[in-house]
Amino acid sequence: MPADAPDSAPREHTVPVADGVELWARESGDPTGTPVLLVMGAASSGVLWPDALVERLGRRHRVVVWDHRDTGRSTRAVDVAPYELRDLATDAVRVLDHLGVQRAHVVGMSMGGLLTQLLLLDHPDRVLSATLFCTGALAGAPGGEGLPGPHPDLLALWSRLGETRDEDAEMEFRVEHWQALAGAVVPFPREEVLALERGAVAHGGPADASSATAHARAGTSGLARGAELAGVRVPTLVVEAPEDPAYPPPTARHLADSVPGARLVTVPGMGHALPAAVLEPFGDAVEGHLDAVDAAKP
Terminal Cα distance for the chain, rounded: 31
Region of 262 please: left (phi>0), alpha (psi -120 to 50) or beta: beta
Catalytic residue list contains 28:
no
Q: Which has the closest alpha carbon to 272: 237, 242, 233, 294?
A: 242
208 catalytically annotated: no
61 is catalytic: no
DSSP 187: P
Residue in 196, 115, 110, 203 with CA at minimum distance from that of residue 150: 110
Q: Which residues contact 290 (CB under 8 A, 6 or more apart)?
A: 34, 36, 57, 61, 105, 129, 131
Q: What is the C-alpha to C-alpha distance for residues 285 and 35, in angstroms, rounded to an integer?
A: 17
Catalytic residue among 68, 105, 254, 272: 272
| Phi, psi angles (nearest 5°) of residue 124 | -60, -25
Among 45, 39, 94, which residue's Cα sits nearest to residue 73? 45
Is residue 268 left, alpha or beta, with left meaning phi > 0 and alpha meaning psi from -120 to 50? Answer: beta
Which among 67, 70, 87, 244 is annotated as catalytic? 244
Cβ pair 48, 109 in contact under 8 A: no
Catalytic residue chosen out of the listed positions 8, 110, 211, 258: 110
Q: How far are the Cα atoms of 25, 80, 138, 190, 277 from residue 50, in angstroms, in the given order?
A: 16, 31, 26, 14, 12
Q: Which residues are catalytic?
A: 110, 244, 272
